[in-house]
Structures are given as C-alpha cells and as structure tokens.
Amino acid sequence: MKAVLSYSGGLDTSVILKLMQEKLNAEVVTVTVDVGQKDDFEKIEEKALKLGAVKHYTIDAKEEFAKEYLAKAIKANALYEGAYPLATALARPLIAKKIVEIAKKENADVIAHGCTGKGNDQVRFDLAIKALYPEIRIIAPVREWGLTRDWEMEYAKKNGIPVKEKIYSIDENLWGRSIEGGILEDPSKEPPEEVFKWTLSPDKTSEKPEYVTIEFEEGIPVALNGKEMDLVELIETLNLIAGKHGIGRIDHIEDRVVGIKSREVYEAPAAITIIKAHKDLEKFTLTKWALEFKEIVDSKWSWLVYNGLWFEPLREALDAFIDKVEEKVNGTVKVKLYKGNAIVVGRSSENALYDTKLATYEKFSTFDQKLAIGFIELFGLQSVLAYSVANKSKSLGGFGIEKAKAEKVAS
C-alpha cells in the first residue's frame, strides 16, 4: 500500500509516519506544505526520511495562499463569530489540494493526516479531499486508532522519534497563529505571556504610536506605507510592525463544527489591522444598501470556511457577489497602531461616496434641508400609523395631502 501523509514534523504526524509502516506495511510519502509557518523545512524533510518516508515533498504555497485564499478573506472581512480571522481554517483546503496533487502524481492508495476526531481540521481536510479526489481512501490514525498524547509520547520514545515536551498545540501560517491546550483549557485564566510569539504585551509596547497607510485596489491591499508589495510580503511586514504594538491578540470562546465549545487563543496582527482598514474603506465607498447586505454575505462566507465548506458552490457564488461589490473599494487608509489597538484615523478614495459639500454644517452645503420634511413623512408612514392605531391616539388625520387639509381646517 502506498500512502501520502500530510506531514508537519510534529509529534502526531511523526508517530503516524512510523505506525503506518508498522501496522499497514505502507510505503509512506510525506508532504509538508509551506503556508508561511516559521519552520525549518530542511529539518522536517530530514526527520521524515529518517523515520522511514520513501520520499518527501516540501511545497511552497505561500503565494497561492495569499492570492487565492487570503485575498478573498480580506474582501469578505472574514472573522468567524466576529473574532477569529480563520488562519488555520483558510490553510486547510489549500494543504488538502496540494496533498491530493501529490497523491495523484504518486498513484497513492491512501491519504493520511494527523487530525484528531474532536477538531475542525478533520472536517476541512476530509471534505476538501473528498471533493477533489472522491475515490481516494482517507486515514486519520489519531481519530481512527484512538491515539492519545501519552501513548504517542511513549511510542515516540521507544521508536527513536525525537520529542520535545510540548504544552500547547500550535498551528501557524501567514495569516496568524492558533494556540490551544495546556492552561488555556481553563477559560477562567488569563493566557500566560509565554503563549504569544508574534505580539508584544501592550504594557511592553512603545509609548509612541506608529502610523501605517494601506492602499487597496478592488478590496485587496497592494501597498504599505506607499511602497508597492505583493500580498505575501505585505502581510509578513505588517505582522512585524503591528505585532510590535501588541495588535491582534484574540482570546475566543468558539463553537466548533462538532459542537464543542472551546477556548482558543490567536495572534493575527496583520489580519486584524488589514480587516479594520478594509472595512473602513468599504464604508467610505459602498452604498448603505450594499454594506448592509454584504455584512450578511461576509458572515456566511466566514461560516462556510470555518466549517470546512471551501469547495461548496455557495462559497464561490458569494465570492462572485463580493468581487462585484469590491470593484469600488479602492483607496488608502491610515491606521494608528498603539498599545494593542489598530485605529483607523484617515481614509481617501476616488470612489468615495462621502461628499463634504453634502455633509457639512457650513453654509456652502449643497443639501436642500427642506426636502427632509416630505421624506420623513413617507419614510415613517407605517410606523407612525401603527403607533397611533395601537395607542388609539387621535392623529390629525391622514398623511401628506390629507394631513395638510386637516391642519388647514384645524387652524
């Protein structure tokens, strides 16, 4: 049997690599997909081969991740339950796609991954693999063989798998870090400083604010502080700048796909800064009707991605809607980074629907105030009518012309 294993180099997937050779007599090809995690990929390859992998692939998917996944997430202001920028969730369908490509190339019988039976990632991997390669068999040994951490540790020691005593379960990519486990499982306790790697604690950040400008084209960031950058570089740079100001720490009580409520801690400095800026620019350039409707679309988009439904046609349909709306989202946003907060302090756009001549209270205003009288009459017609019916109050009688007549009689 030939298997392709999604390999991170961590404990779970290392144990699986050995177990699959031992239990299933499998020839295992390992694949590590680089989505911007700060890992030593050469070491991972070395480890895989040492543990018996017949072949190893390292695939750099950062560009594709930024262009095909993160750009869409930005346009959709993607935040699951209003808080989590979906770093882990967004990477899973892409990793699955890469694994499937290798499985086809290698003519494998099985795809294996290290997900547990309690998390969201199994749903995301399985559904993506099933959509892209329905005939392949999927094995998730941690879930199917009921592996526990303690058992894995024992097994690792016996089988020459190098292990570090690790307290937290961490997943990392360009868009953020997800940290679970250890003391974090007690939701009443503040996350200890040691879990954070990308952000400074706001009490350790500079006393001076720092300003950044982000330029957007059709909803996608294209320049930072006036310098054009591809999205990978822009996100990496902004992670450093905003992280230094303590931005993007998230402590979230989250509803998993499988029904479990869990406590998740995230770091996502660039994601939080970009989404704030992007939302602001949308408010500046889109009509109120488009904004209202897009909020519903955005939250459904995030829901689909969180729940592993990347390849569901509705996601693509929502993206088509979003792309159309985003044609107008061009301009530059100025953000102040200070003590854990990213605060939008300025914006400009050639598509701005904001018009000073309309908004001003000064006398050069072009807004005809008298128009408001009739507008309010019709705008509130039903609500005012319903109120007077419910309260049996004597209105002056009717609306519009009828009311004017009544007022004339009364005077």
Q: Are residues 123 and 95 in contact, defined by beta-carbon separation less than 8 angstroms? A: no
Q: Is 92 a catalytic residue?
A: yes
Q: Is 121 a catalytic residue?
A: yes
Distance CA(265)–CA(251), nearest Å, equals 5
Residue 8 interacts with ligand ARG (CB under 6 A)? no
Q: Is 149 a catalytic residue?
A: no
Bridge partners (DSSP) of residue 264 are 252
Residue 172 interacts with ligand ARG (CB under 6 A)? no
Among positions 88, 122, 199, 239, the unique one binding ligand ARG when judged by CB under 6 A: 88
Q: Is 388 a catalytic residue?
A: no
Nearest CB to ligand ARG, comparing residues 29 and 76: 76
CB atoms within 10 A of CB 4: 28
Residue 12 interacts with ligand ARG (CB under 6 A)? no
Distance CA(290)–CA(155), nearest Å, equals 56
The one segment of 24-32, 43-51, 166-174, 220-228 that binds ligand ARG by CB under 6 A: 166-174
Which of these is catalytic: 12, 126, 171, 280?
Answer: 12
Nearest approach in angstroms of CB 236 to ligand ARG is: 20
Distance CA(67)–CA(230), nearest Å, equals 9
Which of these is catalytic: 8, 34, 121, 280?
Answer: 121
Helix axes 288-306, 313-326, angle to 10 degrees: 150
Distance CA(101)–CA(24), nearest Å, equals 23
3-state SS of 46-95? HHHHHCCCCEEEEEECHHHHHHHHHHHHHHCCCCECCCECCHHHHHHHHH
Nearest approach in angstroms of CB 303 to ligand ARG is: 12
Which of these is catalytic: 109, 169, 262, 299?
Answer: 169
The one segment of 170-178, 284-292, 307-315, 346-354 that binds ligand ARG by CB under 6 A: 170-178
The one segment of 36-44, 168-176, 216-224, 402-410 that binds ligand ARG by CB under 6 A: 168-176
> Which residues contact ligand ARG (rule: CB under 6 A)?
88-89, 120, 169-171, 178, 180, 254, 264
